[in-house]
Amino acid sequence: MELYSYFRSTAAYRVRIALGLKELEHELTPVNLVMGQQREQGFLAENPQGLVPALKLDSGEVLAQSSAILEWLEEAHPNPPLYPQDLLAKTRMRALCQHIACDIHPLNNLRVLRYLGETLDLEQSQVDNWYAHWIHRGFSAIEETVASFKAGFSMDGYPGMLEVFLIPQVYNAYRFKVDLSAFPHIVALDQRCQTLAAFATAHPIRQTDTPQEERA
């Protein structure tokens, strides 16, 4: 498989983690969003949506949208499972994942932040406050659930789909210098995840397209 990715893309980061957790072999093809490579004809021919991530399967089919890709990975490669087997628990985890993907991430992605700064001409401090506001609102709905994990992770002894969605959002919060002191359990979960190979390898600072100055 071939994953079209950008080192800072929260959505691509999710898929990198899941591929690592499932130990699936794949190649990474960087698509620089800042330089506009997602709008080039070669990439649009693969993914007309012009977004990352996109996952090219061995068959040549290309999947778009991280949530859809992750659901495909879970069904096509069910071991290890990233959702609980219990239907109610699975639905609750899926709801938290969608809370991150639909209620937090879209308000804080690159296109939105650029629009706030470049089109609406907001000061950087105002853009940063916008970002922090939605992180705090979103993480407040997750902190109590993370606090309830009995063995440190959402799947008891190992991470599941919640961590796949949450940890990239934590990375972005750190990048924008959001104060996360109100969320000690989320912070601790992030620290536990970073000790695992799947998360460490997927981290933005370890991607081949990461600028050297950001790898320190």
pLDDT in tens, 19-31: 999 999 999 999 9
Q: Which residue has the tokens 């219990």?
A: 86
Closest of 101, 39, 38, 42 to residue 69, by C-alpha: 101
Tell me the mean pLDDT per 10 residues along the chain, length 216.
95 98 96 91 93 96 97 97 96 96 85 84 87 93 93 92 98 93 97 97 92 72
Pick the CATH number of 87-201 from 1.10.1370.30, 1.25.10.10, 1.10.260.40, 1.20.1050.10: 1.20.1050.10
Q: What is the mean pLDDT of the chain?
A: 93
Quick one: pLDDT at residue 201? 96
Phi, psi of 56 (to 5 degrees): -95, 120
pLDDT in tens, 115-147: 888 888 888 889 888 889 999 999 999 999 999
Pick the CATH number of 2-80 from 3.30.300.30, 3.40.30.10, 3.10.180.10, 3.40.1380.20: 3.40.30.10
Closest of 189, 159, 151 to residue 83, by C-alpha: 159
Quick one: pLDDT at residue 187? 97
Sequence spans of domains, the chain: 2-80, 87-201
